[in-house]
Amino acid sequence: NAGVMQNPRHLVRRRGQEARLRCSPMKGHSHVYWYRQLPEEGLKFMVYLQKENIIDESGMPKERFSAEFPKEGPSILRIQQVVRGDSAAYFCASSPLQARTDEKLFFGSGTQLSVL
Amino acid sequence: GNSVTQMEGPVTLSEEAFLTINCTYTATGYPSLFWYVQYPGEGLQLLLKATKADDKGSNKGFEATYRKETTSFHLEKGSVQVSDSAVYFCALYTSGTYKYIFGTGTRLKVLA
């Protein structure tokens, strides 16, 4: 049973370009979370999605950032017109269909975004 | 709102030393509490968890007890190894919020 798969592992973009980060949750998981980890900081919640629905995007910047989790295919975190401050590690996590209070998250290995 | 506060790192210990990483939380309701570990270049892995007051989570020699009266969930290990060198994150989850709230992480370095 493959774990949470994120790609690319490393992504380099120049200022103003678009970044697309992909996340395939574990088989059978329909809940996806995106977190951002800035240097020397903890993980900050960005968005919580279920298939075809955004449940909570309160941690997402209002501009330039968007996320989706289509019926088929991976979840995508999209950052338009990247700036140097977007440089960070972006982690995706998934949990099973029936999320409960004691349900753990399964994390991917992350995508390290570097903006030049 | 809900929050988690961890002791700042880095923590540097000699092999076989005793480890404590402090974690306190603020939450409405009755959260579940977790410790996650992040090894270099990897994502986070669940280390242990506790879902109600006085529960003790344990794994790989690590332990943490859910203390509601002090709103704490301190991580302990009696004898650390070099392989325990990693970043440790305390986290909480409250149903209905959909969010796991993480602390800032504490880097542990164990020297041989």
Q: Residues B70-94: pLDDT tens digits?
A: 999 999 999 999 999 999 999 998 8
Q: How does pLDDT run across A72-92, given as a tens digit for each residue?
A: 999 999 999 999 999 999 999
pLDDT given at position A96: 80
- Determine the residue among A91, A105, A109 to mutate to test chain B binding: the one whose Cβ has the most chain B Cβ atoms within 10 Å: A105
Report the range of poorest mean pLDDT among A38-47, B17-26, B69-78, B102-111.
A38-47
Q: Residue B106 above 70 pLDDT? A: yes
CA B66/CA A68 separation, integer angstroms: 36
The residue-averaged pLDDT of B50-55 equals 93
Query: At A39, is the pLDDT very low, low, confident or very high (cuts 50, 70, 90)?
Result: confident
CA B104/CA B90 separation, integer angstroms: 8
| Spatial contact of B21 and B13, defined as CB atoms under 8 Å apart | no
pLDDT given at position A98: 54
Establish if B31 touches chain A: CB-CB under 8 angstroms: yes
Q: Which residue of A has its CA nearest to B44?
A: A107
**8-state DSSP, A13:** E
Establish if B89 touches chain A: CB-CB under 8 angstroms: yes
| Spatial contact of B19 and B79, defined as CB atoms under 8 Å apart | no
- Determine the residue among A101, A103, A109, A112 to mutate to test chain B binding: the one whose Cβ has the most chain B Cβ atoms within 10 Å: A101
Query: At A23, is the pLDDT very low, low, confident or very high (cuts 50, 70, 90)?
Result: very high
- Higher pLDDT pick, A105 / B71: B71
Number of A–B residue contacts, CB under 8 Å: 62
User: Would the CA dihedral through A35, B58, B70, B9 be positive or negative?
Assistant: negative
Query: At B11, is the pLDDT very low, low, confident or very high (cuts 50, 70, 90)?
Result: very high
- What φ, ψ does residue A25 adopt, rounded to 5°? -70, 170
Q: Residue B13 above 60 pLDDT? A: yes
Beta strands in chain A (DSSP E): 5-7, 10-13, 19-24, 29-37, 43-50, 53-56, 65-68, 75-79, 88-96, 106-107, 111-115
Mean pLDDT over the full length of chain A? 90
Q: How does pLDDT run across B14-27, given as a tens digit for each residue?
A: 999 999 999 999 99
pLDDT given at position A99: 53
